[in-house]
Chain A
């Protein structure tokens, strides 16, 4: 959905032309003795789908959690729709930005029914018409009302991830942060969830920030992507450039090569970047 369409549906105020929906500058995240993110910066336009790729430990998930406000140890600047974010996030932030976590087995409370998972955000934000909203969002993620009063252990991994997506959507956010949303699901379910996310993005005009180590997922889902290595964004490129296999940075070429499968040469060459 474009900005104009959103205005028509009476949703949140549009951004000024050219203003990014989400912008991070000079982002650093330090843990006790690890400097996990070293000066990352990127900007995501309204309605854009932005990928962050990198190998394990490159700091890509840490960037996302800092943006989400789940990690207080960051410095730099984070702006959402022009609003500068501090360590403590206001309620309006949660209404605008939601997150889907990697492991659907860990991201749903084991003692809460689907109904409770979905009604709690509505209660927190004082949104009315909970009944209809819950039924609608369940339908949207491809789960019928039959799933409403089940516990997580009565659901499959894919169904759980659909519930997690429904929880993120029920506040009608504009930005969805996706932390490897499919990497703990099996392959056939991965495709279903990715298609669901792509459909929801088209229907709601959502802005995506997708963190993954899977280049195929990025190629399928994103418009632009950043490649991270050792806490830095080494390259930013469009998906067309990725598909055409023409990255500028040597590290990105290595990553592309590695994504094609195990290759003794590639493995040896990769060692030089550690």
Chain B
């Protein structure tokens, strides 16, 4: 026990050293300070807990789920929640708990793919437009405006209708509609940064525009973007579920939560659990991302430091 406490002491001392010995130590020390600040926010910790639980469930789905998410047994149709079927069964006798667990993978896949596409595109478009200004800015921002002008779900619906239903196309559709706000945020941040003395100082050392954009401007836009992305995750999940609900996202028998609600709505009054349980799952995960995003904003937002 004493050895363990000594090593934790050593770790903390190393991380919090006022005179770091290397870049890595300095960066890790800052990250640790951020974590300490984040940890003080109980709601953010709840959010983090939910997201970590979601990640664990998705990763361990084959071991957690008691049954196959697609195995049908019509003799077990629409059973109430009990000890063997924790969340009951649906109209085809499938175990809803297993479907929720496997559905976590689909939800996470959609969220991750959308973020991987959206955040870099928004960041590059926004910072470039903000930094270079002039006609470049005008062109990029008008394109952004065109995408912003459509309601998000409607545009996503149009894209899916054109591309055909399915998860991949739902992701593409959501990504196409989700990047403009990020470009806007990144541009607004860049406009406040680009006239700062430290950018002038970087130009004074001979740094080219690429080096300034990537090394100086983007790191400062990143934190507000991360916060915004985390807060938007909830919206992305709901749009994905909405597309699933309308039959344009994941296709049966895939255990996507939105599609599960859609199929359960026919029994909502008599067998409430079929639609309610996936609804609660969407609600919980959205709430988790929102709480996490709020907590991250407190830690990352440079304006609040």
Contact = CB atoms under 8 A, between A and B. Distances in A.
Interface of A: 65, 68-70, 91, 94-95, 98-99, 101-103, 106-113, 115-116, 120-121, 124-125, 146-147, 149-151, 153-154, 164, 167, 171
Which of B196, B204, B207 has the largest number of chain A CB atoms within 10 A? B204
Contacts of B5: none
Interface stretch (B15-23, B125-133, B170-178): B15-23
A99 B205 CA distance: 9
Interface stretch (B39-47, B214-222, B261-269, B270-278): B214-222
Given A94-B206, A149-B19, A149-B21, A113 B201 contact: no
A68 B204 CA distance: 7
A113 B102 CA distance: 44
B205 A167 contact: yes
B204 A99 contact: yes
Given A106-B196, A107-B198, 20 more contacts: A68-B204, A70-B200, A91-B206, A98-B204, A98-B205, A101-B201, A108-B198, A108-B201, A109-B202, A111-B219, A112-B216, A115-B26, A120-B205, A120-B215, A125-B206, A149-B20, A149-B26, A150-B26, A151-B26, A151-B30
Interface residues on B, range: 20 to 34
Given A109-B216, A115-B23, A149-B19, A171 B205 contact: yes
B252 interface: no
B219 A101 contact: no
Nearest to A116: B23
A251 B196 CA distance: 33
A75 to B, nearest CB: 20
B295 to A, nearest CB: 20
B211 A124 contact: yes
A153 to B, nearest CB: 8
B23 A121 contact: no
Nearest to A90: B206
Nearest to B198: A109
Nearest to A147: B19
14 contacts: A70-B204, A91-B206, A94-B206, A98-B205, A109-B220, A111-B219, A113-B23, A116-B23, A149-B19, A149-B22, A151-B26, A151-B30, A153-B305, A154-B18
Contacts of A125: 206
B196 A150 contact: no
A12 to B, nearest CB: 16
B88 to A, nearest CB: 51
A125 B197 CA distance: 21
Given A68-B204, A107-B201, A149 B23 contact: yes
B203 to A, nearest CB: 7
Interface string B4-38: 00000000000000111111011000100000000
A215 B227 CA distance: 48
A149 B203 CA distance: 22
Contacts of B198: 106-110
Contact of A164 (B30, B201, B211): B201
Nearest to A113: B26
A231 B259 CA distance: 70
A274 B21 CA distance: 55
| Of listed B21, B197, B211, B305, residue having the most chain A CB within 10 A | B197
B302 interface: yes
B132 to A, nearest CB: 13
B203 A70 contact: yes
B207 A120 contact: yes
B59 to A, nearest CB: 32
Nearest to B223: A111
Contacts of B25: 149
B201 A94 contact: no
A116 B27 CA distance: 12
Contacts of A101: 197, 200-201
Contacts of B18: 150, 154
Contacts of B216: 109, 112
A153 B305 CA distance: 10
A133 to B, nearest CB: 14
Nearest to A111: B219
Interface string B42-73: 00000000000000000000000000000000
Contacts of A112: 216
Contact of A120 (B19, B23, B202): B202
Contacts of B201: 99, 101, 107-108, 164, 167
A94 B207 CA distance: 9
Interface string B206-234: 11000100011001100000000000000
Nearest to B20: A149
A101 B26 CA distance: 25
A103 to B, nearest CB: 6
Given A120-B202, A164-B201, A150 B19 contact: yes
